[in-house]
Amino acid sequence: MQLTNRSKVVVQKEMSFMEKLYIPAILGGMKITMSHFFKKKATIQYPEQKREFSFVYRGKHILKRDEKGRENCTACGLCAVSCPAEAITIVADERQKGEEHLYREEKYAKVYEINMLRCIFCGLCEEACPKDAIYLTEELVPAQYNRNDFIYGKDKLVQPLGTSAHPKTYKPYKK
C-alpha cells in the first residue's frame, strides 16, 4: 500500500561519474530554492492579520446564563463524569432564598473549576450537559507563567452579565 506517490525505493548502487561530481545535483537544488524565492509567502502577519478558525474549533469553555441572566448550571456533575481528562471539579450547593435571579435551578455549582493543562478540548462536557450550560468557544487559552493560573474558576468561565448574545466569544458547537 502506498500512502503518497512521493515514496522512493532506496538503492545502494555505485554512483556514476556525473553523480559523483555533485554539481548537477547542486545546480538542481539551487533551481528549487530559486523557485521558492518567487513563490507566494506562507507567513500570516499575526496581530494585524488573523487566520480564520475552523467553524468546529473548540477553545476556552464558557458557562452560559439564560435570557434572564441566571446561570444554567445545576451542578449535576455529568460534565465531570464524561470528561476523559478529569479536568473538571464541581462543588455543588443549594440555592438560598433571594438568589433566584442568580441561578436557574435549585442546585448550583459553588465551585466550578477546569484545569486547562489537563483539558484536551474534546467537547464531551458540552455534549453531556443536559442544561445547555457549558459550551466551548473560539477563544484561545493563553500561556501563563504559573501552573495555578491555568485552573480556571467561575470568575473566568461564567459568561459575563449583560452579554447574552456574545457575538464574538460565544459560538455554539455546530453539529
Binding site for another protein (CB under 8 A): 26, 29-30, 32-34, 36-37, 39-43, 45
Q: Give the SS3 label for residue 89.
A: strand
Q: How many Å is the maximal CA-CA distance in the chain?
A: 92
CB of 67 to another protein, least distance (A): 46
Sign, CA torsion 46/136/57/120: positive
Name residue 103's beta-bridge partners: 71
Q: Which is nearer to another protein, 36 or 50 (CB)?
A: 36
CB of 37 to another protein, least distance (A): 5
CB of 19 to another protein, least distance (A): 15
CA angle 111, 117, 123 (to 5 degrees): 75
Name residue 151's beta-bridge partners: 115
CB of 46 to another protein, least distance (A): 11
Q: Would you say 159 and 63 are in contact if contact means Cβ atoms under 8 Å apart?
A: yes
Can you say how many angstroms the Cα of residue 34 is from the centroid of all Cα atoms in its chain? Answer: 38
